[in-house]
């Protein structure tokens, strides 16, 4: 058999954001319908290690069953080295024979599919007249979220803020030529989010970077930066005031510090999660209910998203003769 290997650059070429948004919508719908078996991810956090490793297995049933596994290391200090914080691979297996079909760069897949999932949530939950975008953070996810949200809403202006102001200016210089609307670096989070109706938090913060008093009525927030029960980007007042939507309930209750810490403080109850995004996609649960409602999507990332992208990329690589195919 032949094994497909896809590099970071090849994945970027084969996976346009608009296409990935549709792939994510299909994946989350399959999860909501019960077509996916997805155990909780295993996270290895050695006490003295600089980073952690996450193992994310998944199986999708049906006429074209498949297994997927993402093995990824997360090293928060990597951006200072000029590296993505996420390093690893996504494996795709044949669901009938178990044969390994592909090994793909996990950093590229994670960067694109995470933003694409926020694109799905924004398309479902944000007001249709939402045009002002604020992005907190200036790393990989800030860049891909700028692209994703521009696919689902007619952005008129984007403001970017980073703890390192030079990083925000670099993002603007890099991304502005890709968009017709202005992309601006601003000096503070408050300046970025005032009057914004679309907000993205994509930071490595341990303590909240977003405060409720800065958020306009009717705003939609995509909170994507934290992945630990001990870290959060969103303050408890915002969590309490917002209608909370998630990619998966179980993961949120275990891993999402934004939720876990607000719950521990008594700001919210265990019933605070309105719905999973897949449940909104299938019509099982309602999304936004009013123009003034603040909606918040807490994203942790799911193995089913990686599997869906891997299958899409595998089919695209076969059709286009892309990637490297080796005997295995």
Give residue 267's pLDDT: 97
Give the CATH architecture of domain 2-109+303-327: 2-Layer Sandwich (3.30)
Q: What is the pLDDT of residue 80?
A: 80
Question: Whose CA is closest to 4, among 323, 307, 312, 268?
Answer: 323
Per-residue confidence (pLDDT) for residue 313, from 0 to 100: 98
Q: Return the domain boundaries, the chain.
A: 2-109+303-327, 127-298
Q: Which residue ranges of the chain lie beneath pLDDT 70?
A: none
Q: Is the whole-model pTM more than 0.75?
A: yes
Q: What is the full DSSP assignment across 138-181? A: -SHHHHHHHHHHHHHS--SEEEEE-SSHHHHHHHHHHHGGG-SS
- Contact yes or no for 312/23 (Cβ under 8 A): yes
Residue 38 main-chain phi, psi, to 5 deg: -135, 100
**pLDDT given at position 37:** 97
Q: What is the pLDDT of residue 226?
A: 85
Q: Looking at the DSSP assignment, which residues form a beta bridge with residue 86?
A: 74
Distance CA 292, CA 108 (A): 36
Task: Quote the pLDDT of residue 279.
Answer: 98
- Say what the pLDDT of residue 227 is: 80
DSSP, collapsed to helix, strand or coil, labels residue 245 as strand
CATH topology of domain 127-298: Rossmann fold (3.40.50)
């Amino acid at each position: 058999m032949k094994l497909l290997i896809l590099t970071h650059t090849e994945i970027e070429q084969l996976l346009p954001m608009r296409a990935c948004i549709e792939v994510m919508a299909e994946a989350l719908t399959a999860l909501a319908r019960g077509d996916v078996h997805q155990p909780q991810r295993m996270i290895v956090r050695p006490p003295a290690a600089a980073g952690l490793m996450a193992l994310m297995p998944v199986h999708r049933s049906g006429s074209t069953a498949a297994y997927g596994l993402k093995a990824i290391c997360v090293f928060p200090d990597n951006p200072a080295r000029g590296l993505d914080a996420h390093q690893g691979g996504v494996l795709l297996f044949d669901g009938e024979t178990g044969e390994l079909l592909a090994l793909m760069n996990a950093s590229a897949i994670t960067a694109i599919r995470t933003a694409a999932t926020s694109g799905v949530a924004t398309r479902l939950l944000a007001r249709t007249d939402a045009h002002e975008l604020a992005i907190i953070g200036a790393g990989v996810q800030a860049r891909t979220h700028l692209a994703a949200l521009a696919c689902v809403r007619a952005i008129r202006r984007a403001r970017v803020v980073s703890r390192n102001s030079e990083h925000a200016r670099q993002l603007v210089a890099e991304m502005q030529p890709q968009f017709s609307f202005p992309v601006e670096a601003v000096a503070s989070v408050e300046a970025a989010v005032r009057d914004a109706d679309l907000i993205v938090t994509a930071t490595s913060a341990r303590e909240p970077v977003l405060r409720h008093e800065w958020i306009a009525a009717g705003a939609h927030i995509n909170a994507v930066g934290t992945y630990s029960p001990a870290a959060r980007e969103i303050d408890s007042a915002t969590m309490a005031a917002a209608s909370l939507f998630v990619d998966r309930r179980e993961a949120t209750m275990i891993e999402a510090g934004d939720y876990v810490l607000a719950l521990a403080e008594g700001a919210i109850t265990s019933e605070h999660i309105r719905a999973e995004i897949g449940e909104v996609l299938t019509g099982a649960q309602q999304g936004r209910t009013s123009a003034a409602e603040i909606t918040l999507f807490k994203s942790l990332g799911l193995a089913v998203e990686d599997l869906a992208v891997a299958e899409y990329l595998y089919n695209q690589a076969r059709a286009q003769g892309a990637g490297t195919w080796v005997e295995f």
